[in-house]
Amino acid sequence: MIQSRSVTALPHLFGMLPDDLKAHLAAHGVQVRDDEARRLLAHVLGPEGAEQARRRPVGRRLLAVLAATTDQRRLEVVERATDPADGFVKYLLRSPDGALSEAVRIPLHRPGCYSVCLSSQVGCAMRCAFCATGRLGLSRNLAAWEMVAAFVTVRDETPGRVTGAVFQGQGEPLQNYDEVIRAARVLSHPCGCKISASAITISTVGLAPQIRRFAQEGHRYRLIISLTSAVPERRAALLPVAGRVPLSELADAIRAYARSTSGRVTVAWVLMGGVNHGADEVEALRALLPDVRLRINLIDVNDARPDGFRRATALERQLFMERLQVLSAPIVRRYSGGAARHAACGMLAAVRCGEASEG
């Protein structure tokens, strides 16, 4: 496993929860109450932090200790590009060590509301056949603070409310499990970024042990499993991870997750013309998870691709959706936005506006 590289010996403020802040300050000889630690976090991370600080100033001594003992650097915005067709804004961000990652601001159906698609790694090791990021390979994991900083960067220049976050950008979030969960905790903390836990979505290509762990830990964040094919040989060709995690093992993990959540389990299906929309796929999916209540998110790949895949025709898609009816599962066509600005790889920024990410 490639770990996120520490760019300084100091812990970063954006990766801390109130208990961490309290313990950190105590280690430097400063005792604070629980409410002071929470107020400090709100000051650091809340969109209205500056306003709060004016009303109830955070002690200057506390801030001085934090300035001397924590890393507070932000990410540099290298580029921001708006897709005129759909309003998606893709950000290219640089970490202090020079690593580049992406985030995307996604307009939701509710006027003035947005979600942020976050990367979890620099590059990705999963090598999905239809994904440009997969061809880069993995450079390193992102630290929790970098994911939070990406969110804060996008949020602070958003002309509206950011009500959700999706870990669906570059990288396989569950391969960087601890840092992604920490970032989600900071994002959803009532004194942190204040995003509802149920409006935080984590996507995975199907790392079975981590799905089971996620289920055991009982998180309220939503998990989406990218299945894309239920025919073993085809899935292994499209998602090489399937060569290491047999479908039967993945199905067991999905069942464990289904038991841990009251709602349906969402599986994502990246639809490719002429590839994964036949009757064999529907039969295989029915045989794989007959006992799990599913929701199926269909995501079109974009056309004009260098890898030879193409978008399914309207007829291919329609036939597949009709065949899927036998599963009695809601089918949601999700929008893979930002195509004109290359914000849409296999999964990056694939959302149904107004659905999964709205809080």
Q: Binding residues for ligand SF4, per CB under 6 A?
A: 124, 126-128, 131, 133-134, 170-172, 205, 345-347
Catalytic residue among 102, 146, 179, 281: 102
Cβ closer to ligand SF4: 230 or 345?
Answer: 345
Pick 174 or 184: Cβ nearer ligand SF4: 174
What CA dihedral angle connects 20, 23, 25 and 31, to 10 degrees? 130
355 burial (CB, 10 Å; 0-12 / 13-18 / 19+) is middle
- The yes-or-no answer on residue 193 being catalytic is no
Rounded to a whole number of angstroms, the minimum distance from the CB of residue 116 to ligand SF4 is 16
Q: At what angle are helices 314-324 and 279-288 packed, to 10 degrees?
A: 30
Residue that has been written with the tokens 């998180």 in this structure: 219
**Residue 61: which residues within 8 A CB-CB, separation 6 or more?**
30
DSSP designation for 289:
-
**Least distance (Å) from ligand SF4 to the CB of residue 310?**
17
Q: Of residues 281, 345, 353, 358, which has the active-site annotation?
A: 345
CB nearer to ligand SF4: pick between 126 and 184: 126
Residue 29 backbone zone (phi > 0: left; psi -120 to 50: alpha; other: beta): left
179 is catalytic: no
| Minimum distance, C-beta of residue 291 to ligand SF4, in the bound complex (Å) | 27
User: Which of 32/128 has CB closer to ligand SF4?
Assistant: 128
CB of 131 to ligand SF4, least distance (A): 3
β-strand pairing of 76-82 with 89-94: antiparallel
Catalytic residues: 102, 345
